[in-house]
Protein backbone atom coordinates (compact mmCIF):
# COMPACT_ATOMS: atom_id res chain seq x y z
CA UNK A 1 0.00 0.00 0.00
CA UNK A 2 1.26 3.47 -0.83
CA UNK A 3 1.97 5.79 2.09
CA UNK A 4 -0.54 8.40 0.94
CA UNK A 5 -3.30 5.79 0.76
CA UNK A 6 -2.38 4.56 4.24
CA UNK A 7 -2.44 8.12 5.60
CA UNK A 8 -5.89 8.81 4.14
CA UNK A 9 -7.25 5.54 5.54
CA UNK A 10 -5.65 6.18 8.93
CA UNK A 11 -7.02 9.74 9.07
CA UNK A 12 -10.55 8.38 8.59
CA UNK A 13 -10.30 5.98 11.56
CA UNK A 14 -12.11 7.09 14.72
CA UNK A 15 -10.16 9.64 16.75
CA UNK A 16 -7.01 9.51 14.58
CA UNK A 17 -7.49 12.98 13.08
CA UNK A 18 -8.13 14.60 16.45
CA UNK A 19 -5.19 12.76 18.06
CA UNK A 20 -2.87 13.79 15.25
CA UNK A 21 -3.94 17.44 15.33
CA UNK A 22 -3.53 17.43 19.10
CA UNK A 23 -0.03 15.96 18.84
CA UNK A 24 0.80 18.56 16.21
CA UNK A 25 -0.63 21.57 18.06
CA UNK A 26 0.14 20.70 21.68
CA UNK A 27 3.34 18.71 21.34
CA UNK A 28 4.78 20.17 18.14
CA UNK A 29 4.92 16.78 16.42
CA UNK A 30 5.03 16.25 12.67
CA UNK A 31 2.00 14.18 11.73
CA UNK A 32 3.44 13.22 8.35
CA UNK A 33 6.50 11.69 10.03
CA UNK A 34 4.36 9.82 12.56
CA UNK A 35 2.13 8.39 9.83
CA UNK A 36 5.19 7.53 7.75
CA UNK A 37 6.72 5.54 10.63
CA UNK A 38 3.42 3.80 11.38
CA UNK A 39 3.08 2.87 7.70
CA UNK A 40 6.68 1.64 7.52
CA UNK A 41 6.14 -0.50 10.63
CA UNK A 42 2.97 -1.98 9.14
CA UNK A 43 4.77 -2.69 5.88
CA UNK A 44 7.61 -4.34 7.87
CA UNK A 45 10.10 -1.79 6.61
CA UNK A 46 12.96 -1.06 8.98
CA UNK A 47 13.97 2.58 9.11
CA UNK A 48 17.59 2.86 10.22
CA UNK A 49 19.09 5.84 12.01
CA UNK A 50 20.46 7.43 8.84
CA UNK A 51 17.12 7.14 7.03
CA UNK A 52 15.29 8.57 10.02
CA UNK A 53 17.74 11.48 10.29
CA UNK A 54 17.36 12.28 6.58
CA UNK A 55 13.56 12.07 6.82
CA UNK A 56 13.50 14.37 9.84
CA UNK A 57 15.76 16.87 8.08
CA UNK A 58 13.47 16.96 5.06
CA UNK A 59 10.30 17.08 7.14
CA UNK A 60 11.64 19.95 9.30
CA UNK A 61 12.36 21.98 6.17
CA UNK A 62 8.94 21.12 4.69
CA UNK A 63 7.19 22.03 7.96
CA UNK A 64 9.08 25.30 8.39
CA UNK A 65 8.96 26.53 4.83
CA UNK A 66 5.59 25.26 3.61
CA UNK A 67 3.24 23.63 6.08
CA UNK A 68 3.44 25.91 9.11
CA UNK A 69 2.96 29.12 7.08
CA UNK A 70 0.00 27.59 5.23
CA UNK A 71 -1.47 26.32 8.50
CA UNK A 72 -1.09 29.74 10.14
CA UNK A 73 -2.69 31.48 7.16
CA UNK A 74 -5.60 29.03 7.10
CA UNK A 75 -6.20 29.30 10.82
CA UNK A 76 -5.73 33.06 11.08
CA UNK A 77 -9.38 33.87 10.56
CA UNK A 78 -8.38 36.57 8.10
CA UNK A 79 -9.12 34.48 5.05
CA UNK A 80 -12.67 34.29 3.75
CA UNK A 81 -14.07 30.75 3.48
CA UNK A 82 -13.11 30.37 -0.18
CA UNK A 83 -9.55 31.48 0.45
CA UNK A 84 -9.29 29.27 3.54
CA UNK A 85 -10.44 26.30 1.44
CA UNK A 86 -7.83 27.10 -1.22
CA UNK A 87 -5.12 27.36 1.43
CA UNK A 88 -6.25 24.04 2.91
CA UNK A 89 -6.00 22.44 -0.53
CA UNK A 90 -2.44 23.76 -0.88
CA UNK A 91 -1.61 22.50 2.62
CA UNK A 92 -2.99 19.05 1.79
CA UNK A 93 -1.00 18.97 -1.46
CA UNK A 94 2.19 19.88 0.40
CA UNK A 95 1.52 17.13 2.95
CA UNK A 96 0.89 14.66 0.12
CA UNK A 97 4.19 15.59 -1.51
CA UNK A 98 6.04 15.26 1.81
CA UNK A 99 4.60 11.77 2.29
CA UNK A 100 5.73 10.85 -1.24
CA UNK A 101 9.27 12.01 -0.42
CA UNK A 102 9.25 10.07 2.85
CA UNK A 103 8.01 6.95 1.08
CA UNK A 104 10.85 7.24 -1.42
CA UNK A 105 13.35 7.30 1.47
CA UNK A 106 11.98 4.13 3.02
CA UNK A 107 14.01 0.95 2.61
CA UNK A 108 12.25 -2.10 1.16
CA UNK A 109 10.53 -4.55 3.45
CA UNK A 110 12.84 -6.43 5.77
CA UNK A 111 10.13 -8.79 6.96
CA UNK A 112 10.81 -7.72 10.55
CA UNK A 113 7.83 -6.81 12.69
CA UNK A 114 7.92 -3.60 14.73
CA UNK A 115 6.24 -2.53 17.95
CA UNK A 116 4.15 0.47 16.88
CA UNK A 117 4.11 2.08 20.32
CA UNK A 118 7.92 1.93 20.48
CA UNK A 119 8.25 3.18 16.90
CA UNK A 120 5.99 6.19 17.52
CA UNK A 121 7.66 7.00 20.83
CA UNK A 122 11.09 6.82 19.21
CA UNK A 123 9.92 9.05 16.36
CA UNK A 124 8.47 11.67 18.68
CA UNK A 125 11.65 11.76 20.75
CA UNK A 126 13.73 12.20 17.60
CA UNK A 127 11.46 15.02 16.40
CA UNK A 128 11.40 17.18 19.52
CA UNK A 129 11.69 15.18 22.75
CA UNK A 130 7.94 15.54 23.49
CA UNK A 131 6.45 12.17 24.30
CA UNK A 132 2.87 12.48 25.50
CA UNK A 133 2.53 8.83 26.48
CA UNK A 134 -1.25 8.67 26.61
CA UNK A 135 -1.65 10.23 23.17
CA UNK A 136 1.02 7.92 21.71
CA UNK A 137 -0.68 4.87 23.18
CA UNK A 138 -4.11 5.91 21.90
CA UNK A 139 -2.73 6.68 18.43
CA UNK A 140 -0.90 3.35 18.25
CA UNK A 141 -4.09 1.50 19.28
CA UNK A 142 -6.13 3.20 16.56
CA UNK A 143 -3.56 2.73 13.81
CA UNK A 144 -3.26 -1.04 14.30
Check residue 111 and give left, alpha or beta (phi > 0: left; psi -120 to 50: alpha).
left
CB burial class (10 A; 0-12, 13-18, 19+) of residue 120?
buried
User: Tens of pLDDT along 94-135?
Assistant: 999 999 999 999 989 888 888 999 999 999 999 998 778 888
Q: How far, in Å, CA of 16 to CA of 139, rounded?
A: 6
d(CA 79, CA 87): 9
Supply the pLDDT for residue 23: 94
The mean pLDDT value of the chain amounts to 93
What value does the mean pLDDT take over residues 26-54?
95
pLDDT at position 79: 67
Residue 95 has what pLDDT? 97
Amino acid sequence: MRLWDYAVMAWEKPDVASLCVDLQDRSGQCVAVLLWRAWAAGEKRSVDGASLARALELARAWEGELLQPLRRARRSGLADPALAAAIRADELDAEHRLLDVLEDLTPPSSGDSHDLMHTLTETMAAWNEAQPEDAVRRLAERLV
